[in-house]
Amino acid sequence: MRFKIALLSGLLMFVVTGAQAADALLKPFVLASKSAGTVAEKSAQVKAALQAAGFTVIGEYAPYANADIVIVTNDELKKNASASEFGGYGAAERIAITEAGKEVQVSYNNPVYMANVYRMSGDLSNVAAQLATALGKVEEFGSATGMTAKQARKYHYMMGMEYFTDPSELAEYGSHEEAVHAVDAKLANNKNGVSKVYRVDVPGKPETVFGVAMKGAGENRFMDDKFIMDQIDSQAIKSTAHLPYEVLVSGNKVYALYARFRIAINFPDLSMMGDHSFMSIMKAPDAILKALKTTVQK
């Protein structure tokens, strides 16, 4: 009898633990460390640590003063992207080095959160563990409460706003190869303030993702990376790893996640009104869409 009771207790504990794991709350970013130093010093250390851990650095972007973003990929990220519909959005990891006050923060987008908001086939928990080992993990941040994996997979900011399955179609070409060649060339021209930060060709299927920097002034400031982050990145721990934005070539079509989704997944707690709110960047979604379309269209 005692054995049966112990067995039942063990099974119950296993079920409860499994349920708790399934309901673990995910947040958009991970703070790896914060310490004295310079952005340049920390960036060099980050790149060395990532390369030693098997990641490949595919791009680097300094969106404004005292901030640097290192973009990496590895075989697991690309394999998961290949197995997922529109998986190219999750084919790279963004690691930010940001000076905030008297400290330099190293942070990165949370791979498990990203895998769920992008509805990927695998949860990238191994990638999360690799990053934590290479860079450290102090805490997850970017949302006060976080979301379960189920909530993240169905996320949209509010009623009437876009889901992951509602991307913007930017252009269409005769073939995948033509589309990739055209987008690469147009980003190199940088006529509309949109330029290439990185490129990942997803193995095994016709899909390529580009990370893009966006710069604009005057009337074009609403698509500008610095302008947008100045308005919404107001917390003590910075969400610099929100950048850069992605353009996805899937088949012969060119897509981007609409900004009301792409921004909201990394800033889910932003209020609709007031200081540092979505209202402060109300013109950004259409400005971003216009800039991307103008850049990549035929």
pLDDT per residue as tens digits for the range 59-82? 999 999 999 999 999 999 999 999
Answer whether 104's CB lies under 8 Å from 35's CB: yes
Tokens, residue 144? 């006060």
Q: Using CA atoms, how far apart are residues 197 and 213, in angstroms rounded to an integer?
A: 6
Q: How confident is the model at residue 277 (pLDDT cuts 50, 70, 90)?
A: confident
- 10 belongs to a structural domain: no
* Torsion angle defined by CA atoms of residues 153, 154, 155 and 157, in that order, rounded to the nearest 10 degrees: 170
Q: How confident is the model at residue 124 (pLDDT cuts 50, 70, 90)?
A: very high
Q: How confident is the model at residue 23 (pLDDT cuts 50, 70, 90)?
A: low
Task: Report how many domains make up the chain.
Answer: 1
- 11 belongs to a structural domain: no
Q: How confident is the model at residue 272 (pLDDT cuts 50, 70, 90)?
A: confident
- 20 belongs to a structural domain: no
Who contacts 101 (Cβ-Cβ below 8 Å, separation ≥6)? Answer: none
- 15 belongs to a structural domain: no
Least confident of 72-76, 98-102, 268-272: 268-272
Q: How confident is the model at residue 22 (pLDDT cuts 50, 70, 90)?
A: very low
Give kind and range of the element (H or E) at residue 191.
Answer: none
- 14 belongs to a structural domain: no
Tell me the mean pLDDT in the region 199-223.
96
pLDDT mean across residues, the chain = 92
What is the pLDDT, as a whole number, of residue 20?
39
The pLDDT of residue 5 is above 70? no
Least confident of 22-26, 124-128, 206-210, 216-220: 22-26
93-100 and 103-109 beta bridge pairing = antiparallel
Instruction: Give the distance, in angstroms, between the CA of residue 249 and the centroid of all CA atoms in the same chain.
Output: 17
Find, among 233, 104, 249, the residue nearest to 185 by Cα: 249
Residues of the chain above pLDDT 70, percent = 92
Tell me the mean pLDDT in the region 163-182.
98
Tell me the mean pLDDT in the region 103-107.
98
pTM for this predicted structure: 0.91
Domain range for 233 is: 26-296
- 12 belongs to a structural domain: no
What is the pLDDT, as a whole number, of residue 280?
87
The pLDDT of residue 16 is above 50? no
What is the pLDDT, as a whole number, of residue 11?
44
The pLDDT of residue 289 is above 70? yes
Q: How confident is the model at residue 107 (pLDDT cuts 50, 70, 90)?
A: very high
The pLDDT of residue 108 is above 70? yes
Beta bridge partners, 152, equal: none
State the CATH number of the domain containing residue 181: 3.30.310.70
Q: Which amino acid is at 205?
A: K
Phi/psi at 204 (5° precision): 85, 0
Q: Using CA atoms, how far apart are residues 165 and 202, in angstroms rounded to an integer?
A: 19
For 272-278, which contacts have Cβ atoms below 8 Å and span 24 or more sequence positions? Answer: 272/158, 275/234, 276/231, 276/232, 276/234, 277/232, 278/157, 278/232
What is the pLDDT, as a whole number, of residue 273?
73
Tell me the mean pLDDT in the region 255-279.
89
- 5 belongs to a structural domain: no
Q: Using CA atoms, how far apart are residues 185 and 194, in angstroms rounded to an integer?
A: 12
- 6 belongs to a structural domain: no
